Amino acid sequence: MFQEYLLQFQRVLSQMECSDTTGSFPFEQGVNTAIEVIAAVKRDGHKLLWVGNGGSAAIASHSAADYFRTGDIKTQCFSDASLLTCMGNDFGYPEIFARPVSIYAEAGDVLVAISSSGQSVNILNAVDSAIAKGCKVLSLSGFKADNPLRKKGNLNFYVPSAEYGYVELAHGILCHSFLDLFMKGSRCN
């Protein structure tokens, strides 16, 4: 049973897709572009901003800490419980990320938006807020191939599965691999 789970996960990983606002392109090209985006953020003194709900919030928080500690990159994750409850109470749950992004983001920053379904209104609103501030958006999503988040980012990574476990594991692998390859000065071949 576990072997079949791993084999299915391997199939999911091998079928991940990457796109931008004009369409799909080879996955390795997307990984290389993500590494270039990260390098530019660090080189130009910008920030990586992270948003996600539930398991995606944990991935965002973990990644923000790793990119800060290991990559020496300015990062901010907007998953702090006090901030979330304040924003939800004062502005409504759909605005819990959009409001902090609109205040904290600056042109040249990159928002990393993580949503398994790609349909979370609060994540989509954060993306709109980031775009309005002149930020680039790197999205990670799954479930339906036509999810709205996948259409909004400058660089979009899609995991073709409706299983939360597979999508979240793949998102974690992507976040780690971007940083690891960036730190090694490597490119995906």
Six token digits for residue 161: 């599965």
The model's pTM is 0.96
Q: Which domain holds residue 53?
A: 27-184
Q: Is residue 15 part of a domain?
A: no
CA angle 164, 165, 171 (to 5 degrees): 85
Which residues have C-beta within 8 Å of that of residue 88, sequence separation ≥ 6?
A: 96
Q: Is residue 127 part of a domain?
A: yes
Query: Which residues are bridge partners to 139 per DSSP?
Result: 113, 156
- Within the chain, strands assigned E span 17-20, 23-25, 47-52, 74-77, 110-115, 136-141, 155-158
Closest CA to 118 of 99, 92, 135, 137: 137
- pLDDT value of position 134: 98
Q: How far apart are CA 51 and CA 115, in angstroms?
A: 9
The parts of the chain modelled with pLDDT lower than 50 are: none
- pLDDT value of position 176: 97
Q: Is residue 18 part of a domain?
A: no
- pLDDT value of position 185: 86
Domain total for the chain? 1
- pLDDT value of position 188: 59
Q: Is residue 19 part of a domain?
A: no
Q: Is residue 189 part of a domain?
A: no
The predicted-structure confidence for 123-160, as pLDDT tens digits, reads as follows 999 999 999 999 999 999 999 999 999 999 999 999 99
Q: Is residue 101 part of a domain?
A: yes
Q: Is residue 52 part of a domain?
A: yes
Q: What CATH code is carried by the domain that includes residue 117?
A: 3.40.50.10490
Neighbours of 148 (CB within 10 A): 18
Q: Is residue 149 part of a domain?
A: yes
- pLDDT value of position 148: 98
